[in-house]
A and B are shown apart, each in its own frame.
Chain A
Amino acid sequence: MPDPITKVSIIISKGSLEGIYPGLIMANGARAEGIEANLFFTFFGLDAIHQARHDHIKVATVGNPGLHLATVAGGLPGVSTVMTHYLNHKMEALDIPSIPEFIEMIADTGAGLYACQASVDLFGLEKNDFIPQVQDIITVGEFYEKAAGGQIIFT
């Protein structure tokens, strides 16, 4: 049997629903396997840990070929909202937690939660804007230090 994975550091760089969930599932799944995990939120991924925004994450309905929805349709007012409601409803039926609940859960498993300093500067944010579970705002160099000895997963 090959050597098991013992540590992962996952970067979440996107702000759409489908752009955020995979990283969360990877982090939660890692912890359930006894794998050490860090989550690092950068660029629009910061919305997932932003107190005012983390409950309003939407599905991208434009420029999203995976949705099989014509761009001209996806761009109509309200379509993203409807699609988001629909997906959220389906996820609830499968007991997949909402993004805020999921991140709180992941923090409870002992995973590290960090925000990207550069993106925080870019968007003019501060620690107070984030959920309390965010441990620190760190630079890319500090991220590499924390990721040492493990694998890095970029989403």
Chain B
Amino acid sequence: MSTITIAAVGVDLNDEGFFTDPEQWTEDMVPELAQREGITELSAAHWQVIRFMRAEYLAKGTGPSVRALAKTSGVSIKELYQLFPKGPAKTAAKIAGIPKPRGCI
């Protein structure tokens, strides 16, 4: 657990880098959070996935797994891994300020 400053606001992250309190997140934080994940340029597709992850979390209480993400967001698995090479659901969840999605598929 640690508190770091993103977009001039203090946010709490767990050891893996996920928000412990999703309420602390604002969209302004996205570019800086993405930088921390090695994503220096955010395309429209990046934003689409990040916003989608956040919306799913707010609607269902949890972010989707990669497969669910591909099926419901309309972005293909191939493209998802191109956008987020280190794991799309995991990375996008960090950037969207939501907990790590749990799932095996």
A97 to B105, CA, bound (A): 9
A31 to B82, CA, bound (A): 12
* Contact call B105/A34, Cβ cutoff below 8 A: no
* Contact call A32/B76, Cβ cutoff below 8 A: no
- Across the interface, which residues of A come within 8 angstroms of B105, CB to CB? 25, 28, 95-97
- Across the interface, which residues of B come within 8 angstroms of A32, CB to CB? 65-66, 87-90
Task: State the interface size on chain B (CB cutoff 8 A).
Answer: 18
A139 to B37, CA, bound (A): 36
- Across the interface, which residues of A come within 8 angstroms of B78, CB to CB? 108
* Contact call B104/A29, Cβ cutoff below 8 A: yes
* Contact call B104/A25, Cβ cutoff below 8 A: yes
Contact size range, A:
10 to 19
- Tell me the smallest distance from the CB of A147 to a CB of chain B, in Å: 20
B36-66 CB mask vs A (1 if < 8 Å, else 0) is: 0000000000000000000000000000011
- Tell me the smallest distance from the CB of B46 to a CB of chain A, in Å: 16
A1 to B90, CA, bound (A): 18
* Contact call B67/A1, Cβ cutoff below 8 A: no
**A33 proximal to B (CB < 8 A):** yes
A32 to B87, CA, bound (A): 4
- Tell me the smallest distance from the CB of A28 to a CB of chain B, in Å: 7
- Across the interface, which residues of B come within 8 angstroms of A96, CB to CB? 105
- Tell me the smallest distance from the CB of A116 to a CB of chain B, in Å: 26
Apart from the given pairs A108-B76, A110-B85, 9 other A-B contacts in the complex at a CB distance below 8 Å: A1-B15, A31-B66, A32-B66, A32-B89, A34-B85, A34-B86, A34-B90, A97-B105, A108-B77
Name B residues whose Cβ lies closer than 8 Å to a Cβ of A: 15, 65-68, 76-78, 81, 85-91, 104-105
Q: Which 5 A-B pairs have the closest CB atoms?
A: A34-B86, A34-B87, A108-B77, A108-B78, A32-B66
